[in-house]
Amino acid sequence: MQRRTVLKSAAAFGLVGGLGISMPLFAAAKIKPAANSALIVVDVQNCFIDGGTLPVKGGAEVVPVINKLADVFQNIVVTQDWHTPGHASFASTYAGKKPFESTKLSYGSQVLWPDHCVQGTDDAALNKDLKLPTAQIIIRKGFHKDMDSYSAFEEADHKTATGLAGYLKARGVKTVFVTGLATDFCVAWTAMDARKAGFEVYVIEDATRAIDLNGSLAAAWKQMAAKGVKRIQSTDIA
């Protein structure tokens, strides 16, 4: 009886089997998005889903997760890659270059991609299964022919603003939750630029999928953490 009492007491204090492992006594409190929070849905477009021109493995899997999250947000922002034909980020623009190689542009190193998300094409359209009834604005990025734009806040020169920060601040938004495609490129750049703009930032990991080009996913999470971006799951949202 005494042994049972001791074990119960140890469990109550989160001590496991004398191994010195401390477990949390209570589950972490869930996060309830307030009126000053916004959900950012990054580039959930046909081009990044199976059958598209630059598919992200498992890209379609984010759609039902994002749709469920949308129910608890009053503010939703959607982004679209929106490239010109012959865009500077396309490998086909450069003689002898292949997709996933790099080149130097005026603003620095640029990964070269297959032609994708060309303006006005079905490939560039938002996935038809997205259900975002409270979405209020679409930010189109990468529409300047000579400059790419991964981030929803700034283009690749880190100078040209999209206007999203001003829009969110005018609406009183303080916290953003970032989802979409791809974790290691447009999601990560959006999250880090949101921090730079002064927002509290969460990336909802299971509502994203990655390209993971030469270790880019691990590098992106490390960079985001260094900027103060918080990594959570959709189940952490109340």
List active site positions.
43, 141, 186
Contact 222, 195 (CB under 8 A): no
Show the tokens assigned to 119.
Answer: 């303006």
Element (H, E) at 165: helix 164-170
Structure-block tokens of residue 175: 């916290």
Q: Which sign does the torsion angle of CA 235, 178, 215, 145 carry?
A: positive
Q: Please name every residue paired with 135 in a beta bridge, in sequence order, or none if there are none.
A: 76
Contact 233, 206 (CB under 8 A): yes
| CA pair distance 182, 210, nearest whole angstrom | 5
Token readout for 161 is: 């603003």
* Distance of alpha carbon 227 from the chain centroid: 15
Three-class DSSP category at 205: strand
Strands 21-22 and 15-16: antiparallel
Q: How many CB atoms lie within 10 A of CB 40?
A: 28
CB neighbour class for 205 (10 Å; exposed up to 12, middle 13-18, buried from 19):
middle
